[in-house]
A and B are shown apart, each in its own frame.
Chain A
Amino acid sequence: MNRTGISAFREPDIRHNKAMTARILIIEDEALVAMELRFVLEDLGHEVVATVADANTARSIAARNDIDLALVDIHLSDGPTGIDLGRELGQERGVTVLFMTANPGMVREGVAGTIGVLSKPTDERAVQTAVDYALARRTGRPVEYAPPELQLFG
């Protein structure tokens, strides 16, 4: 796939992107959705550490790498394991966690140690604003308000 042409359609703000560059883990069992997400995040200047489809692989990657942000689907290839995984990454590994799911009702009550949930399907802009918001929270930068598409926990 030719991705070199993409840059012409972005309005890169190098300084801005540099400041926001983060190491991101994508946990998503739909390959196409994961691939698109990866491209979008890389376009934004982030480093996608890995794209994994199940909770155990995610755990071992998180154990061996420094991860700033994890985007976690709830239904993974090993079942609805995303909620526990997200809680664990947030509380035990200090990873900032955003859920991305087609069934946001699954985390209606919120998940301790995580930020919120973005409903799928979504688009580049919503992903970007949600990731920016999550990273701003992580680094303690002031945020005016949460992106409207992002459902925050508590």
Chain B
Amino acid sequence: MTAAALPWNEAERLSALQAYGILDTEPEQAFDDIVRLASRICDAPIAVVNLIDQGRQWFKAETGLGVRETPLDTSFCAHALLQEDGMVIPDAARDVRFEGNPLVTGEAGLRFYAGRLLKSADGHALGTLCVLDTQARPGGLTPLQAETLDVLARQVMAQLELRRAISEREEGVIALAESEAKFRAIAESMPQMVWSSQPDGFHDYYNARWYEFTGVPAGSTDGEAWNAMFHPDDRARAWEAWGHSLETGDLYEIEYRLRRADGVYRWTLGRATPIRNEAGDITRWFGTCTDIEDLKRSEAGKDLLSQELSHRIKNIFAVVSSLIALSAREHPEARAFAGSVRDRINALARAHEFVRPHSEVSQPLIGDTTLHTFLGALFKPYVDASGRSRVAIEGEDATFDDQAATSVALLFHELATNAAKYGALSAAGGTVLLRTRNDGDRFILTWTERGGPPILEEPVRQGFGSALASLSVKGQLGGTLERRWEPGGLILEADLPATALSRRRAALGKK
């Protein structure tokens, strides 16, 4: 007797067989019918659906055998697994593979065997559907018997696949029910309002907190009825945002006023995320509503306070500015001095307006709070006879913060004042070009004067204004300042670290 040698990965085959969940299950009529039919058509006393397990063969269905399993070492079918198209043994007594096999030599006296492979979709041989006879059949199976056995073997496989599919689905349903139970347990215990909707936006779930907050009967806000819980002024906006999310799959996020059980509308943050299946289709939306009324109030309070402070600061600038002018009236000889101090104070006040915390009302009148808009405002007084600005600003813009504001304001105020006294802006037709650009980790500002009085030599003495400009760039902004007195006019280049204008933002970016 020769035990069948196995040329495939037996561990993989066994695990594929296990996955069907069929081993050691009760007999079932579908399989019993098949073996009875196989036995009758093939005119054989024995027919089995045989699955080759580890060390044993186990029969899902059998007729004429009377047992559900036998050891593998006497198995006919273990040999059949080696042959793709099944195996027919006309007379086992004359076959070397079954020499000394007790099933052949013993009481059972088996002689004839015909088996068909049960093969899974991914190619694993699981077992056979086979018929056995105690009479040798030199002619084997008739064509009808052979075809019947083929068809029935495929039916066995179909039954196995069906059972596996059904059991997988049942497991899925159980897992889903478990995950849903978990979701509900979490959602119901959350202090936040939680809801869920179908992919078309039909709301079908709200947690206990929602009903507690709104005070409406359970189920009464299903479908689209949630919208009526919002403040009338917020309904259309929320409806539109929700519609947009449903259409695009974008996250839903909106602030609206939600009616509490006592009739008071409270500011609420609504958010929702779509859940997608493997194909990417949205299967559900999960949303939350968070009461942000208290947060809003404290924010509004802070805004109000910071606006009030900003307003006071700007007013103080105005008072200081007037105080300087009034003081100078008593000392006419100080008038020029007072004028220049006043102009510097006013430049600082203007810079403050561009960097202070802003609300809708406190935004500067002109555009965004960027470097270019600020400088544009600072240079506003320098216009030609037709009202056109004599200082052109070109290049890449930048944002700047309150730390940089003082330095930037003083630097350009001094440059413009100096140009108006001695440089390009002191002569009719003279102009200035200010070009700004990013250069890697540097931000470079180039101030070029043209059309002023010709420059014959570099000024010997540096005034306080120039010192102030240098101090602003080197001391405050950590940059370098280079002045070139060219015949056509002053060219000044300020080379700053790119982070100098907005240190806070740079620090945030690093985090």
Contact = CB atoms under 8 A, between A and B. Distances in A.
B380 to A, nearest CB: 4
A34 to B, nearest CB: 8
Residue of B329, B353, B363, B381 with most chain A CB atoms under a 10 A cut-off: B329
Interface in A48-104: 75, 102-104
Contact of A33 (B319, B332, B343, B349): B319
Given A39-B326, A124-B325, A6 B332 contact: yes
Contacts of A144: 386-387
Interface string A99-122: 000111110100000000101111
Contacts of B335: 9
B365 A105 contact: yes
A8 interface: yes
A33 B329 contact: no
Interface in B299-319: 310-311, 314-315, 317-319
B350 interface: yes
Nearest to A117: B365
Interface string B351-387: 0010000101111111000000000000011010011
B325 A105 contact: no
A139 interface: no
A1 interface: yes
Contact of B380 (A5, A120, A124, A149): A149
A33 B318 contact: yes
A123 interface: yes
Interface in B426-448: none
Nearest to A75: B311
Contacts of A9: 332, 335
Contacts of B342: 121, 123
A145 B172 CA distance: 78
B329 A148 contact: no
Interface residues of A, number: 37
Contact of A32 (B317, B319, B366): B319
A103 B307 CA distance: 10
B200 to A, nearest CB: 42
A121 B346 contact: yes
Given A1-B326, A8-B332, A75-B311, A106 B318 contact: no
Contact of B314 (A32, A36, A103, A125): A103
Contacts of A1: 326, 329-330
Given A104-B365, A126-B381, A148-B383, A36 B330 contact: no
Given A121-B345, A148-B387, 20 more contacts: A8-B332, A32-B326, A33-B322, A35-B326, A36-B322, A39-B329, A103-B362, A105-B362, A105-B363, A108-B361, A117-B365, A119-B350, A121-B342, A122-B321, A123-B339, A123-B342, A123-B343, A144-B386, A148-B389, A149-B381
Interface of B: 310-311, 314-315, 317-323, 325-326, 329-330, 332, 335, 339, 342-343, 345-346, 349-350, 353, 358, 360-366, 380-381, 383, 386-387, 389
Interface of A: 1-3, 5-6, 8-9, 30, 32-33, 35-37, 39-40, 75, 102-106, 108, 117, 119-126, 144-146, 148-149, 151
